[in-house]
Structure 1
């Protein structure tokens, strides 16, 4: 994924939040849902966008690589269950940009502590780049909706 595509993703997040703020003026807000999702008065919240890039130490194909990625997915599931990982996914174009996390934390330092627990980072398969993001609190509902629509 190019930097242009990531910029577009970020703009869409801002647009979603801006639209939500405009709708909030036109209708009553679900205050309980807003509180559950950590929304501020605009229906927004702080996140940290993490771009995962190819690291210096590619782990060779085989059992060690398979175990590393099994741990990577388990780590994402744990962070989602803890309410820390709002959205994650791989980039499908073949560049050194491998994937991204949107973490529901206030600071880059908090995000760094969470990302440091991931086996792909620990083993040097990937490195992380961090960007503060202010976007719709509705992103916090993505994991619950995904569980309802995805097969096991």
Structure 2
């Protein structure tokens, strides 16, 4: 009987020798938050980064321009509240053609294109978009909620 037990122990040890041991969760790991943000084991996730650049048809009429940018801001707020837009903001390069960026928490570029198409600055031709896959911290999704607690005034 003892010989059989030793044999079974040896077989079990050999069978599991090629399998990596499961490491315990890192201290401070929040499984619920990781799941909510779509984090992988490294706390990262896939996004689509969109660079907004100056387009071919700038809107010159002051009233139309004001309305277009009001719609642009409303669209940003809508997409952020839906959880699809993780990050957005303008570039501070005066004179360059890079205008701003979006970081979308979507799986592919086609989904990001559909969301960007809803923006008045794109529809008018004021801006055009470049799309890039990006792998970044899943915590990026938490920025919009944190921003709300920091903003003294509404955009």
1:58 is aligned to 58
- Structure 2's unaligned 5+ residue stretches are 1-23
2:91 is aligned to 91
2:17 is aligned to none
Larger Cα-atom Rg: 2
Rounded Cα–Cα distance in structure 1 between residues aligned with 2:81 and 2:25: 32
Structure 2-normalised TM-score? 0.80
Structure 1-normalised TM-score? 0.82
Are 2:29 and 1:39 aligned? Answer: no
Are 2:109 and 1:141 aligned? Answer: no
For each residue in 1:61-93, what CA deviation from the matched residue of structure 2 results, as whole angstroms up to 9, or x when unmatched?
411000000000000000000001101110001
- Residue 27 of structure 1: CA displacement? 1.7
- Residue 26 of structure 1: CA displacement? 4.4
2:19 is aligned to none
SS in 2 for 1:66: helix
Rounded Cα–Cα distance in structure 2 between residues aligned with 1:90 and 1:35: 30
SS in 2 for 1:143: helix
1:76 is aligned to 76
Count of aligned pairs: 129
- Structure 1's unaligned 5+ residue stretches are 1-23
Moved over 2 A (4+): none
Rounded Cα–Cα distance in structure 2 between residues aligned with 1:64 and 1:118: 14
Rounded Cα–Cα distance in structure 2 between residues aligned with 1:105 and 1:78: 15
1:130 is aligned to 131
